[in-house]
Amino acid sequence: MNSSTTNRGFSRRQALSALGGGFGLLGLSGVLAGSTAGPRGPHFPPKAKHVIYLFLNGGPSHVDTFDPKPMLTKYHGKPAPSGNLKTERKTGTLLASPFPFRKCGQSGIEISEIFTELGKHIDDICVIRSMHTERPNHEPSLLMLNSGHVLPGHPSMGAWLNYGLGTENQNLPGFVVLCPGLPVIGPQLWTSAYLPATYQGTHIPNNETEPEKLIQYLRNKQISLPEQRRQLDLLEKLNRIHLRQEGDDPQLESRIESMETAYRMQTEAFEAFDINKEPKAVRDLYGDGPFARGCLLARRLVERGVRMVQIYYGNGQPWDNHDDILIHKKLALTSDQPMAALLGDLKRTGLLKETLVIIGGEFGRTPAVEVSGLVKFQNGRDHNNHGFSVLLAGGGIKGGMTYGNTDEFGFQAVEKPVHPHDIHATALHCLGIDHTRLTYRYSGRDFRLTDVFGNVIHDVLA
């Protein structure tokens, strides 16, 4: 799947023969120079076709959510026998989780009570409890989880997936990012960087509720659709005359097609983003608020063939609870139900089989209390890159299991450690891609989402 950096001079016949397909199968615009959005196909038969990545930005605490540590209760208020690991700020004695954990589902995996609804789906979920990453700071960790590098300037996973597989629906962007406002660092997290711009994430501010505010230039309030149709008919006529005079040029032809797609997109995307089209019962299932709307939108988009939808929980870094871990409970109030509803809805519609769902943040939090506030009470936790949890579910994933472990207090991944590179490798594997072969040659070097690292975690595959 190498791509040369120049598209010019690529003939229609070449393009088609390279893909082994015909017009009818692929649609000309999908494969020709300039428009590279058409499906290219995986390396091997995929289990999943789509990814929904629910990003709880800020660093949700694993020991208060998906990684129970009874030892914290036992040693609450006492120094950790093994000492604290170095994180961003100073931490003190161990802090028990204020939330009880309960066994869930047939598998009996323990989940914190703040995620009671999500816990009901545990038998479809694989809890990876041995995540670790490089830095205890938001920016590099956000970049790592999204683009496999700690520095900005590399394509995000959604961009890679669209580059590798194309989108199934020309009428919608292939990589949609929903966030009310912006997470820390912002658009760098969904950039296509050196991949063609067509693969970049389309950011939708889902605090907006009107569909036309969601996509740039989606609607024309001055020109009616029939009038626009007339415009397009004329445009095509003029473009065809031009094309005839200029001789066959796939670039020009591709733009003619692209224009038609854009026309259809107006209706289709508008419809896709209009959650009022959902029955009230379904909307109630998800609840209200941007994150809930995001989850529902994610289902609608995946249903329509969008390759990857990523939803950030909120503006800034809501899960960054340095002072008070009890705030996690408030955050869960507006995320537990929507996440559970999404999994249930995907399952009900059969989409879960072909959709990989990833839930997690950029790192976890320390089992020890943070002590760096001046006169704040000390009930929060610092960033912890040494150990945290990520949840996988759906297409290609074995549910009802845990994988790996942190130490007895939850400081550090000790058993079967998993790096974000491994998550990326595994996610790509579920989508039928060998992560070592999804490369893009830029400035003379082959780049990968997983850089030179990453192992598929075969134990979690269904």
Partner 1 sequence: MRLLGLLGTLALASIVQAQRTDSIEFFETKVRPVLAKNCFSCHTQAKLGGLEMISRDALLKGGKSGPAINIERPEESLLLKAVRQTDDKLKMPPGGKLPYAEIESILAWIRRGAVWPAASKAQEGYHITAEQRAWWAFQPVRKTEPPEVGDRAWAQTPVDRFLLAAMEKRGLKPVAQASRHDWIRRVTYDLTGLPPKPEDVDAFLRDRSKEYKARVVERLLASPQYGERWGRFWLDVARYSDDQLNSTQDEPYDNAFRYRDWVIQAFNDDMPYDVFVKAQIAGDRLPGREKMIAGLGFYALSPQFQDDRVDVTGKAFLGLTVACATCHDHKFDPIPTKDYYAMLGVFTNTTLGEYPLAGEDVVRNYKAKKAAVDEEQQKLDKFLDEQAKELSEILAYRTADYIRAARGVINEKTGLKEAAAAAKLDAGTLERWRDYLSMPSHEHSFLKDWKDGGKFDDKAFQKTLLDVLAEWKDVENKNYIRLGGSNARNDLAGADLLSLPREKWLLWRDIFSAQRFGKFDTGILYYKGAAIDRFLAGEWKWRLDNLRAELERRKKEAPERYPYYHIVEDKPQIRNERIHIRGSADNLGEEAPRAFLSILCDGPPKAFTQGSGRLELAEAIANPKNPLTARVMANRVWYELFGAGIVRTLSNFGQLGEKPSHPELLDFLAARLVEHGWSLKALIRELTLTSAYGLSYGSDPKNFTEDPDNRLLWRANRRRLDIEALRDSLLAASGELDGKLGGPPVSLTSEGNKRRTVYGFVSRRKLDGTLSLFDFPNPNSTSELRTPTATPLQQLYFLNSKFLMDRAAALSALLSRQPGNAERIKQAYRLLFYREPGKAELEAGLAFLQSNDKSWPLYAQVLLSSNEFVYY
Using CB under 8 A as the binding rule, the residues of this chain from 174 to 233 that contact partner 1 are 182, 184-188, 191, 193-194, 196-198, 200, 202, 215-220, 222-223, 227-228, 230-231
Q: Which of 107, 116, 207, 251 contacts partner 1 by CB under 8 A?
A: 251
Contact between 371 and partner 1 (CB under 8 A)?
Answer: yes
Contact between 255 and partner 1 (CB under 8 A)?
Answer: yes
Asked if residue 204 lies in contact with residue 273, where contact means CB atoms within 8 angstroms, the answer is: yes
Contact between 138 and partner 1 (CB under 8 A)?
Answer: yes
Closest approach of Cβ 361 to partner 1, in Å?
Answer: 16
Q: How many CA atoms lie within 13 A of 49 on its CB side?
A: 19
Contact between 152 and partner 1 (CB under 8 A)?
Answer: yes
Length of the chain equals: 462
Contact between 375 and partner 1 (CB under 8 A)?
Answer: yes
Contact between 373 and partner 1 (CB under 8 A)?
Answer: yes
Closest approach of Cβ 133 to partner 1, in Å?
Answer: 16
Within 414-443, which residues bind partner 1 (CB under 8 A)?
Answer: 443
Closest approach of Cβ 185 to partner 1, in Å?
Answer: 6
Locate all alpha helices (DSSP H) within 323-406, ordered by sequence. Answer: 327-333, 336-348
Contact between 170 and partner 1 (CB under 8 A)?
Answer: yes
Contact between 82 and partner 1 (CB under 8 A)?
Answer: yes
CA dihedral angle for residue 246, residue 252, residue 254, residue 256, rounded to 10 degrees: -100
Q: Which of 1, 16, 19, 235 contacts partner 1 by CB under 8 A?
A: 235
Contact between 261 and partner 1 (CB under 8 A)?
Answer: yes
Q: Which lies closer to partner 1 via its Cβ, residue 3 or residue 116?
A: 3
Candidates 69-77, 275-283, 306-314, 371-379; binding stretch for partner 1 (CB under 8 A): 371-379
Instruction: Give the C-alpha separation, 127 to 108, whole Å.
Output: 12
Instruction: Give the C-alpha separation, 106 to 326, whole Å.
Output: 28
Closest CA to 383 of 155, 84, 113: 84
Residue 136 DSSP symbol: S
Q: Say if strands 401-403 and 125-131 run parallel, antiparallel, or are unpaired.
A: parallel
User: Residue type at 376?
Assistant: K
Contact between 384 and partner 1 (CB under 8 A)?
Answer: no
Report how far apart, in Å, the C-alpha atoms of 400 and of each of 103, 125, 127, 206, 393 are: 11, 5, 8, 31, 9
Closest approach of Cβ 329 to partner 1, in Å?
Answer: 11
Q: Which of 107, 207, 334, 372 contacts partner 1 by CB under 8 A?
A: 372
Residue 369 DSSP symbol: E
Closest approach of Cβ 209 to partner 1, in Å?
Answer: 20
Locate all alpha helices (DSSP H) within 81-179, ordered by sequence. Answer: 116-119, 138-147, 157-165
Contact between 266 and partner 1 (CB under 8 A)?
Answer: yes
Closest approach of Cβ 446 to partner 1, in Å?
Answer: 8
Contact between 379 and partner 1 (CB under 8 A)?
Answer: yes
Site size for partner 1, by CB under 8 A?
95
- Count other C-beta atoms under 10 Å from residue 277's C-beta: 12
Closest approach of Cβ 31 to partner 1, in Å?
Answer: 13
Q: Which lies closer to partner 1 via its Cβ, residue 238 or residue 462?
A: 238
Report how far apart, in Å, the C-alpha atoms of 285 and of each of 205, 275, 343 are: 22, 13, 11
Within 285-344, which residues bind partner 1 (CB under 8 A)?
Answer: 316, 324, 326
Contact between 374 and partner 1 (CB under 8 A)?
Answer: yes
Residues 6 or more apart in contact with residue 258 via CB below 8 angstroms: 29, 34, 35
Within 26-45, which residues bind partner 1 (CB under 8 A)?
Answer: 34-37
Closest CA to 158 of 169, 145, 171, 140: 145
Give me the phi and psi of 308, to 5 degrees please: -140, 135
Residues 6 or more apart in contact with residue 248 via CB below 8 angstroms: 12
Question: Which residues on adjacent β-strands are paired with residue 177?
Answer: 203, 310
Q: Which lies closer to partner 1 via its Cβ, residue 116 or residue 372?
A: 372
Closest approach of Cβ 288 to partner 1, in Å?
Answer: 17
Instruction: Give the C-alpha separation, 131 to 9, whole Å.
Output: 46
Closest CA to 205 of 170, 179, 242, 244: 179
Closest approach of Cβ 16 to partner 1, in Å?
Answer: 14
Contact between 376 and partner 1 (CB under 8 A)?
Answer: yes
Closest approach of Cβ 4 to partner 1, in Å?
Answer: 8
Candidates 19-27, 111-119, 252-260, 383-391; binding stretch for partner 1 (CB under 8 A): 252-260
Locate all alpha helices (DSSP H) within 20-89, ordered by sequence. Answer: 23-26, 28-31, 70-74
Closest approach of Cβ 360 to partner 1, in Å?
Answer: 20
